[in-house]
Amino acid sequence: MDHETSTGHVTRKAVLRAALAAGMAAPAVLMGVPALARTLTAGEAAPALTPECDDGDDPTPPQTEGPYFKPNSPLRTSLLESGTVGVRLTVSGYVFGLACRPIAGVLLDFWQADTNGAYDNTGFRFRGHQFTDAQGAFKLTTIVPGLYPGRTRHIHVKLQAPGRPVLTTQLYFPNEPRNNTDTIFDPRLLMTVRDTGGAREAAFDFVLNVLQTPGPSPTPTATATTQPPGGTWAAGTAYRAGDTVTYGGPGYVCLQAHTAQAGWEPPNVPALWRPR
Ligand SMILES: [Fe+2]
């Protein structure tokens, strides 16, 4: 077992998640929640320094974006394409706010290297964004990223709760030799990873710097806009990258395909809209 394991923390987090999930989802739904199952598995390695969603002051730390981010990634939970080479990997978990409540509708934009350590800077291979579901859960299907010079193994991600600033960070794999020499590596961003017959299942729960009122049920943290409504932007509309709208006077260009909802008005979500 590696040195990051801390049974006490696993137990506390497991109890927390079990209570959270029990209060918000039907048993049939729970059976399909990998993160919960993972935290209840005895003996699984868990990073002791992973932000604990228990005291309201330890959001997931930010990390450098690096040179390879591209906006306008496709909306998809699987980055696998026909002919994709590499060890299959799923990454699942929840996105919490500071009061340990899951956040629905959080944008997660993932990008990573292919199995040879190369980024696709002309197209969108191994790039994709998705949104947390009503339970605040996400699941990414991909491959284990390859190594490239100067870095340990990692996956990049940007997260944005509705109406909140973007968190840019990276996720890491336990027991990687280069974790010890990569100066960007942060053990608080270690996923738990297990082998499942040649594939890997990873889990990680994010904690965003979003104030919440403690309570039993998840509530999207849509913030009221400070601009007077008006313009062509409309909640419920499916926008595509390149679409243009007006909102409160100024015009905006859509950066990522999404269905608009309250709290995602253009001035509030720079990951989705930029001023024209
Ligand atoms: Fe990278």
With residue 128 as reference, give the H or E element that holds it. strand 127-131
Tokens read off for 208: 């965003």
Residues flanking ion ligand 1, Cβ below 5 Å: 66
Pairing of strands 192-196, 137-143: unpaired
- 50-207 carries CATH number 3.40.605.10: no
- What is the C-alpha separation between 170 and 7, in angstroms, rounded? 24
Mean pLDDT in residue range 158-176: 97
* C-alpha 272 – ligand 1 centre gap (Å): 22
Which top CATH class is 222-276? Answer: mainly beta
Domains 50-207 and 222-276 are alike in CATH topology? no
Average pLDDT of the chain, as a whole number: 80
- Domain residue spans in the chain? 50-207, 222-276
**CB of 191 closer than 8 Å to CB of 4:** no
* C-alpha 233 – ligand 1 centre gap (Å): 35
* C-alpha 246 – ligand 1 centre gap (Å): 35
* C-alpha 50 – ligand 1 centre gap (Å): 21
47-94 pLDDT, tens digit each: 444 445 664 558 999 999 999 999 999 999 999 999 999 999 999 999
- What is the C-alpha separation between 175 and 169, in angstroms, rounded? 20
* C-alpha 101 – ligand 1 centre gap (Å): 30
Neighbour count for residue 182 (Cβ, 10 Å): 16
**Three-state secondary structure call for residue 158:** strand
* C-alpha 156 – ligand 1 centre gap (Å): 6
HSE of 93, CA atoms in CB hemisphere, 13 A = 21
Higher pLDDT, 13 or 34: 13
To the question of pTM greater than 0.95 for the whole model, the response is no
96-116 pLDDT, tens digit each: 999 889 999 999 999 999 999
At 265 the pLDDT is 80
